[in-house]
Structure 1
Amino acid sequence: MSELEFYAFHNGAYPWVPHKSVIGEHSRTNFISLPTEFYDEALAQRAMRDFLEVLAGCERLGYDGVLHSEQHNGPIGLSAQGMVTSAYLAAQTERIHIAAVGPIMNAYLSPIRLAEEVAMVDMMSNGRLILGLPMGLGAQYHSYGVTNPADARDRFKEAHDLLIRALTEQGPFAYEGEWFNVPYVNLWPRPVQKPHPPIWIPAAGSRESLAMCAKHRYVYQAILAPRKTLLRNCDLFRELCAEEGYTPDPRQIAAVLFVHTAETDEQARREAEPHYAWIMQNFFRSTFQDAFAPGHVSESSLRGMAAGGGYRSRDISEMTWDDLVAEEWLIAGSPDTVAERLEQVTSEMGAGRVIIDIDHGSMPRWLIEKSASIFAEEVMPKFRPAGGKPVWARGEDRRPYTTSSEIAARTGGARAVPASQLMNGDIVDTRTAHVPELRHPVEL
């Protein structure tokens, strides 16, 4: 078997919504305009609790990382602020990698605010953050009202460049651009990971997103699309990497898959089929123009997506279990079946990472944990080196906080003395000024 890394993905959805057959009585979509009269506080707290605790529990199961998304104005995901979710997971875990995909960068008035949040969460987790930078669907732009979707891609590109400069360059420096003008870019705190946390880009297949991944050597998060289109996207990504002068590591492609594992193939279908139908019929219930507002993608990419059977180019609410299996969006069955099909799919894509959608929208927590546990115990070891350890257990022990002695041993030394001036005019070291014989003037 190929060596793979596994990231557990949970949507954190609120499943108590009208079915697609009656949604028209309340809203045109479950995606952005479902009235909040369907929101129940107790049920939402239960969904949020299960979402967070299931992800934190994936460390005990031995997944390489956990991944969560950011959604707005609707029930498809209750995590409306990716960095807040990541901060919680950093506090509840010790070593597992945490992938925040989003934040939606264009929802920020300035990428400097995002840079601060990224640096803070990376510091809190002691360098375990993975930063996803999705463009965000058009629906999310309607929700925030910060950016015109027609300007989204140009603004995103400039925001990305400023974000990276803020995370990596010494400040202060001035930045003047078309979208952002910041007289003092001076980031405090700074990220633990150098030059910055790893960046993943979810891409539906637009050439612009794939080219960005190739240019900056980011991970291409291959969003679900018809198999032929997805394989073509992977080939295009490798071509774009070759144009940049390198051959991508397989881990630079992360395959996104629905996976459900049970005792037998028949049991897996019995457990999961209703929940996959719920996802297809309700979770992605939105019009194409909601997902891709005018100008949100280039004309050439939009034509390619529509003509080539790309993302959202068909009514996925009509997809059946057999359709999902045939398109290889879904891998379900016994551990042996799942391992066999996983090897086939990732080999075809040339992917070295797998993002496993473990919650299936409306699936109860006990069933999510059953499938995730069987997969961890009986499938993952087949794709790992001897010993079966996740990537975070193979090298340096990265825990969220270090002891005082570790900090003292690691520091390169302070660049300045914490000092204050006393009434007699002496400037003293505040750390020792409480001891009379050490209270003497210091040189600054």
Structure 2
Amino acid sequence: MRFSIFYEHQLPRPWDHGEEHRLYKDALEQIEIADRVGFDYVWEVEHHFLEEYSHSSAPEVFLAAASQRTKRIRLGHGIVQLPPNVNHPARVAERVATLDLVSDGRVDLGTGEASSSAELGGFGVRRTEKREQWADAIDAITRMFVEEPFAGWESKYLQMPPRNVIPKTLQKPHPPLWVACSRRETIHLAARNGVGALSFSFVEPEDAAKWTGEYYRIIESDECVPAGFAVNPNVTVVLPLMLHEDEATAIDRGIDGAHFFGFALAHYYGTTPHDPGRTDVWAEFEERRAARGFDRDRIIANAETLNVNVGSLRGAVGTPEQVIDLVRRYETAGVDQVGFVLQSGPNRHEHICESLELFGKAVMPHFLEGREEREARKAERLAPAIEAALARRAPARKLPPGYQIDEEAELVRARRARRSGRPAGLRPVLAVVRDEAQATARRRVQRGLFRWVHGRPDAEIERRFGARAQRVFFAGMARQYDPSMAAGFEGELEFRLKRTDGTQTAWTIQVRGGKARARQGEAREPAIVIVTGTGDFLRVFAGDANPASLLMDGRLKVRGNVELAPKLSEMFGGPSPY
């Protein structure tokens, strides 16, 4: 049996200035104690917008701080939200690897998809797609850990060209993987993906036995196809905890926190209305707790065997002897780790610290003897099944030789994928070839143009870029027009090219009905007028001059709808300016 502490960073109202600062500093001190007395893990959640219930939106920062104040305790993300709208997979891989390095390889990567309306709606994640997004992202992230370079990704939810995602994790092939579970169905999901199950359902040990049995049956079956490149067969249950030699004192110190944890969880993950910045969850808890199943009067000191749910949620709030018995029942049920929530509701820092010290002294020693041998036997038993499961996992990919970063081609593919609403890989092969051929042709033209204008005086460029060349150039611009990049714009664009002799030539591109046409002459009603020297005009297109610098130097002038100027490049087939 392994033991962990679990943090939501709860902060019931009312709030005073500095309360969040105190909350974080207290938690770091508690983790130092947990590390010293022998706890194996600390889990830190990622939640957003869940006032009072969880003020923990950047767990990687908090865990990094904890890594520098501890020596042995493992640092668990419990969990990272994987929908790309919340966390881009490459950023997850980078942050986890960095944390693994600064902690000397102590990271466990718990993952999830989020379920609260506040978070899903806040980041624009469709509830019906979040499971697919999780599966897609975890596959991509684990490949980022092991592929060097990462061979790229094209799916409905993520389009990313090949890149070497660095740094790499200290643990190989990557940190152990977990997924948040609250129902029997998600326990099965964890097993099918070969990842640890982090259960937050407050189940009794006897019910947990059914879940662990089904979990390990799937792990050892052909159903298990690992999401990563290692299998992490483990089941963790999470419970409220407050410990004291006197049962009544333990209840007095910890039951309100346990009940607020359950009440606030139901508040955000149910259908309770919430007015951001105004709803007082703690006030509602005090008013409605009994009606919602968290009756304080139902929890009495009786010196009997602890049940997790007895009238109201109790968890592991009691004496060391009661908690030893409860943990032993979970151990018998096949649970690998019990995680405890102490920092919840109004629970006081000094009482949390006392409970951690008492747990390390009076409870933990009962579960240390023979633990390593039992875990070794488990690993030996599961080794053939794990080897077979990993053989079913698609291997790491190798990037074909000769690939080079190509911003323009990559932007073309990404832009077309966004426009179609489908991954680029689902488009017809000929369309992919056409896009890349067009991008390659534009690159050749741009490189040739760069060589042609670089270092040449304006007068020489003007002689070569005469009326005929200009006609070809602007006709080519019109052919490259992409209406999906125009944001509905229709109108006339005027370009005035000045020469060193003081004369100038005007060209107009008219955008209408999804098409663009070029003609010589001034626009009748221009939406924008761009005035610059002929040489500077070509230098900008060749990548030999920065339009922002030309603007500041007065060599480029923009009149009319200046907000349209940054969009012109993408409208006519060029790369995004951002």
The normalised TM-score by structure 2 is 0.54
Question: Who is 2:167 aligned against?
Answer: 189
Cα distance between partner residues in 1 of 2:272 and 2:148: 40
Give the share of equivalent positions with the same residue, in percent. 19
Are 2:131 and 1:153 equivalent residues in the alignment? yes
Question: Who is 1:10 aligned against?
Answer: 7
Deviations 1:175-225 (A, max 9, x none): 222211111231110000011101111101152x33442133211112224
Counting only pairs closer than 5 Å after superposition, residues 309-320 of structure 1 correspond to structure 2 as 315-317=292-294, 320=298
Are 2:322 and 1:340 equivalent residues in the alignment? no
- Report if aligned partners of 2:82, 2:133 keep a CA contact under 8 Å in 1: no
Question: Who is 1:269 aligned against?
Answer: 251
Alignment RMSD:
3.0
- Report if aligned partners of 2:86, 2:123 keep a CA contact under 8 Å in 1: no
Number of residues paired by the alignment? 339
Question: Which residue of 162, 165, 168 maps to 2:140?
Answer: 162
1:87–1:140 distance in 2 versus 1, CA, 3 Å: farther
Q: Which moved more, 1:143-152 or 1:337-346?
A: 143-152
- Report if aligned partners of 1:69, 1:101 keep a CA contact under 8 Å in 2: yes
Question: Who is 2:221 aligned against?
Answer: 243
- Report if aligned partners of 2:208, 2:335 keep a CA contact under 8 Å in 1: no
Question: Who is 2:316 aligned against?
Answer: 331
Deviations 1:258-304 (A, max 9, x none): 2222112233223223333333344542352479xxxxxxxxxxxxx
Higher relative contact order (CA 8 A, sep 6+): 1
Cα displacement (A) at 1:318 = 5.4
Counting only pairs closer than 5 Å after superposition, residues 332-411 of structure 1 correspond to structure 2 as 332-348=317-333, 350-385=334-369
What amino acid is aligned across from residue 357 of structure 1 in structure 2?
V
Cα distance between partner residues in 2 of 1:381 and 1:259: 17
Where 2:20 maps in the other structure, the secondary structure is helix
Are 2:237 and 1:255 equivalent residues in the alignment? yes
Cα displacement (A) at 1:156 = 1.3
1:82–1:187 distance in 2 versus 1, CA, 3 Å: same
What amino acid is aligned across from residue 245 of structure 2 in structure 1?
E
Cα displacement (A) at 1:78 = 1.5
What amino acid is aligned across from residue 243 of structure 1 in structure 2?
S
Where 1:356 maps in the other structure, the secondary structure is strand
Cα distance between partner residues in 2 of 1:324 and 1:386: 27
Cα distance between partner residues in 2 of 1:157 and 1:179: 11
1:375–1:225 distance in 2 versus 1, CA, 3 Å: closer
What amino acid is aligned across from residue 43 of structure 1 in structure 2?
E
Cα distance between partner residues in 2 of 1:385 and 1:230: 23
1:329–1:172 distance in 2 versus 1, CA, 3 Å: same
1:45–1:237 distance in 2 versus 1, CA, 3 Å: same
Question: Which residue of 35, 38, 41 maps to 1:65?
Answer: 41
Counting only pairs closer than 5 Å after superposition, residues 114-133 of structure 1 correspond to structure 2 as 114-133=92-111
Cα displacement (A) at 1:151 = 1.4
Cα distance between partner residues in 2 of 1:109 and 1:357: 26
Q: Which blocks of at least 5 consecutive residues in structure 1 are unaligned?
A: 18-38, 292-313, 392-444
Q: Which moved more, 1:281-290 or 1:374-383?
A: 281-290
Cα displacement (A) at 1:316 = 4.6
What amino acid is aligned across from residue 91 of structure 2 in structure 1?
R
Where 2:267 maps in the other structure, the secondary structure is coil
In the TM superposition, structure 1's runs of 4+ consecutive aligned residues that sit over 6 Å from their partners are none
Cα distance between partner residues in 1 of 2:210 and 2:235: 13
Q: Which has the larger radius of gyration?
A: 2
Question: Who is 1:79 aligned against?
Answer: 56
The normalised TM-score by structure 1 is 0.69
- Report if aligned partners of 1:12, 1:78 keep a CA contact under 8 Å in 2: yes
Q: Which blocks of at least 5 consecutive residues in structure 2 are unaligned?
A: 225-230, 274-290, 301-306, 376-578
1:254–1:316 distance in 2 versus 1, CA, 3 Å: same
- Report if aligned partners of 2:169, 2:175 keep a CA contact under 8 Å in 1: yes
